[in-house]
Amino acid sequence: MQNKMDKIQNEHIYKIKEIANKLSLNFIVKECDEIEERLGLGSFNLVFLGQYKRGKSSLINALIGEQILPTGVTPVTAIISVIKYDEKSSCIVRKQDGSTETIDLKDIYLFATQEQNPDNTKNVEHLEIRLPSPLLKRGLFLVDTPGISSVFESNTKTTKEFLQSIDAAVVVLGVDPPISYDELDVVREVKGFVREPVFVINKVDKESRESIDTVKNFTVDILKKEFGIENPAIFCISAKDGLSRKVSYDWQEFLNKLEKMVENKSQIITDSYKNTTTRLSNKLLIEIDRLMRALSEPLENTKLKVEKLNELKEESAIFIRELGYRFQSEQDRISQLIDLEQKKFFDEHKKEIDAEFEALFESFLNRPDERSEFYYNSLHSIAEKYVNLWMDKIKKDADRYYSEFSERYFREFREITSKIDEITGDRDFTNIYEGLRQEMYPKSDFYFHHFMRYTSTSPFKFILGIFIPKKRRILMMKDELKDYLDWLIYANCSRYIGDINQRIIESRRRIEGDFKNRILFLVERMNSAIDYASRMKSEGEARISSELKNLRDMRSFVEGILNEVNH
Ligand X SMILES: Nc1nc2c(ncn2[C@@H]2O[C@H](COP(=O)(O)OP(=O)(O)OP(=O)(O)O)[C@@H](O)[C@H]2O)c(=O)[nH]1
Residue 417 beta carbon to ligand X: minimum distance, rounded to whole angstroms: 33
Nearer to ligand X, 206 or 257 (CB): 206
Residue 53 beta carbon to ligand X: minimum distance, rounded to whole angstroms: 4
Selection from 327, 545, 362 nearest residue 471 by Cα? 362
Nearer to ligand X, 159 or 424 (CB): 159
From the list ligand X, Mg ion, none, partner contacted by residue 73 (C-beta under 5 to 8 A by kind): ligand X
Burial 366-383 (b: 16+ CB within 10 A, else e): eeeeeebeebbebbbebb
> Got the DSSP string for 47-98?
EEEESTTSSHHHHHHHHHTS--S---SS--B-S-EEEEE-SS-EEEEEETTS
Nearer to ligand X, 38 or 54 (CB): 54
Question: Do the Cβ atoms of 112 and 164 come closer than 8 Å?
Answer: no
Residue 202 beta carbon to ligand X: minimum distance, rounded to whole angstroms: 5
Task: Identify the sign of the CA torsion 238, 243, 247, 251.
Answer: positive
From the list Mg ion, ligand X, none, partner contacted by residue 206 (C-beta under 5 to 8 A by kind): ligand X
Residue 144 beta carbon to Mg ion: minimum distance, rounded to whole angstroms: 6
Nearer to Mg ion, 15 or 56 (CB): 56
Q: Reading across the β-sheet that carries 100-103, which strands appear in turn?
A: 100-103, 90-95, 124-131, 81-85, 140-144, 44-50, 168-174, 198-202, 233-236
From the list Mg ion, ligand X, none, partner contacted by residue 417 (C-beta under 5 to 8 A by kind): none
Residue 226 beta carbon to ligand X: minimum distance, rounded to whole angstroms: 22
Nearer to ligand X, 57 or 159 (CB): 57
> Got the DSSP string for 129-178?
EEE--HHHHTTEEEEE---HHHHHH-S-HHHHHHHTT-SEEEEEEESSS-
Output phi, psi for 128, to 5 deg: -115, 110
Nearer to ligand X, 246 or 393 (CB): 246
Residue 395 beta carbon to Mg ion: minimum distance, rounded to whole angstroms: 38
SS3 per residue for 396-447:
HHHHHHHHHHHHHHHHHHHHHHHHHHHHHCCCHHHHHHHCCHHHHCCCCCHH
Residue 92 beta carbon to ligand X: minimum distance, rounded to whole angstroms: 20
Beta-sheet strands, E only, within 179-232: 198-202
Residue 97 beta carbon to ligand X: minimum distance, rounded to whole angstroms: 25
Nearer to ligand X, 144 or 287 (CB): 144
From the list Mg ion, ligand X, none, partner contacted by residue 238 (C-beta under 5 to 8 A by kind): ligand X
Question: Do the Cβ atoms of 123 and 92 come closer than 8 Å?
Answer: no
C-alpha distances (whole Å) from 357 to each of 354, 362, 454 are: 5, 9, 18
From the list Mg ion, ligand X, none, partner contacted by residue 72 (C-beta under 5 to 8 A by kind): ligand X
Nearer to ligand X, 75 or 498 (CB): 75
Nearer to Mg ion, 25 or 79 (CB): 79
Binding site for Mg ion (CB under 5 A): 56-57, 76-77
From the list ligand X, Mg ion, none, partner contacted by residue 257 (C-beta under 5 to 8 A by kind): none
From the list Mg ion, ligand X, none, partner contacted by residue 542 (C-beta under 5 to 8 A by kind): none
Residue 243 beta carbon to Mg ion: minimum distance, rounded to whole angstroms: 14
Tell me the pairing of strands 90-95 and 100-103. Answer: antiparallel
Q: List, in order, residues 6 or more apart from 453 with CB less than 8 Å away.
A: 377, 380, 488
Cβ atoms within 10 Å, residue 247: 11
From the list Mg ion, ligand X, none, partner contacted by residue 58 (C-beta under 5 to 8 A by kind): ligand X
Cβ atoms within 10 Å, residue 272: 24
From the list Mg ion, ligand X, none, partner contacted by residue 240 (C-beta under 5 to 8 A by kind): ligand X
Nearer to ligand X, 12 or 56 (CB): 56
Selection from 487, 478, 414 nearest residue 454 by Cα? 487
Residue 118 beta carbon to ligand X: minimum distance, rounded to whole angstroms: 13
- Indicate the SS3 state at residue 276: helix
From the list Mg ion, ligand X, none, partner contacted by residue 202 (C-beta under 5 to 8 A by kind): ligand X
Binding site for ligand X (CB under 6 A): 50, 52-58, 71-73, 75-77, 146-147, 202-203, 205-206, 238-240
